[in-house]
Amino acid sequence: MSRGDLPMRERLPDRVSIVEVGPRDGLQAERVTVPTGAKVDFIERLLAAGHTVIEATSFVSAAAVPQLADAAELLARIPWKPEVRYPVLVPNERGLERALAAGVREIAVFVSASESYSRRNLQRSRADALVMCTPVVSRAKAAGLRVRGYLSMVFADPWDGPTPVGTVVATGRSLLELGCDELSLGDTIGIGTAAHVQRLITAYAAAGVPPSALAVHFHDTYGQGLANVLAALELGVTTIDTSAGGLGGSAFAPGAAGNLATEDLVWMLDGLGIETGVNVRKAAAAGAWMCQQLGREPAGRVTRALSPVL
């Protein structure tokens, strides 16, 4: 298909980077704790599907997230390759020290754009969460690490209602000013529509943050995930967070469905002739396999559609 065949294709990129967040963001929200060996197997399946950015685990406290208490052991067992990035979530300086000791080359820090989710999920105000991130990001950058900044609840919060765009932009800019290389905008409860997405990305651009500094992280609660991705791609964002099988949710946000499924995203991008390097059937099979370990049905539509042949 030539680019001129579809009016929308002219406005879309030729290549998209997928950040596969299933092993961390997905598994931390599942009730079942998966054995380390199965996590290694999952990551190997994701690599075989063509993924080159896999959020592997988290160094939050084992008491808060027991599902990922084996972070150091997992990182010692997964295959490290020069072309593959394994960002890990780090909540504080103690987590950073554990991550550095495990040899990580990329971390992700997180704050909430809304006040109530910050207090419930992070047990501190949004302002205090930014203060806590400051030494983590500066020490990570000094150690030569790449740093992603996650911003949660960018459209609304279950307790506070809509998150003001100005607050979202200011909080996200603070993360970038601390030194984050990339800002991932998380619609943690999946409430946003394409209009919300374009308003926010346009507001960031007006504040001097280009779409190349942004990633989008959608949850598919209301079935808006793919439409929201398309809205972001149209405005120049080319990094998308998804999870195989649509794993995940938020243990701290009632009603939040899982992440947009990787295989659903790749199916759409394949159809548009946009390269990802990820094989849709293998990505779907990896998600289906992990869902089997968890004893749950895959949330991704493509996995369900393909399941007779996977």
CB of 47 to Mg ion, least distance (A): 21
- Measured CA to CA, the distance from residue 23 to residue 248 in angstroms comes to 9
Over the window 13 to 32, marking each residue x when it contacts Mg ion by CB under 5 A and - when it does not, the resulting string is ------------x-------
Q: Supply the minimum distance, in Å, between the C-beta of residue 139 and Mg ion.
A: 25
CA distance 10 to 134: 40
* Residue 187 binding Mg ion, by CB under 5 A: no
Kindly state the smallest distance separating residue 96's Cβ from Mg ion, in Å. 21
Report the residue number, 25 or 264, with the smaller CB distance to Mg ion. 25
CA 75 and chain centroid, separation: 19
DSSP E strands: which ranges in the chain? Answer: 17-20, 57-58, 88-89, 106-112, 146-152, 156-157, 161-162, 182-187, 214-218, 239-242
Count of residues that bind Mg ion according to CB under 5 A: 2
The residue (of 52 and 152) whose beta carbon lies closer to Mg ion is 152
Nearer to Mg ion, 12 or 91 (CB): 91
Q: Which residue is nearest to Mg ion (CB)?
A: 25
Angle subtended at Cα 122 by Cα 225 and Cα 137, rounded to the nearest 5 degrees? 85
Burial of residue 251 (CB within 10 Å: 0-12, 13-18, 19+) is: middle
* Candidate residues 259, 262, 276, 303; the one interacting with Mg ion per rule CB under 5 A: 259
Residue 153 beta carbon to Mg ion: minimum distance, rounded to whole angstroms: 11
For Mg ion, the closer of residues 22 and 179 by Cβ is: 22
Under the rule (CB under 5 A), what is the footprint of Mg ion?
25, 259
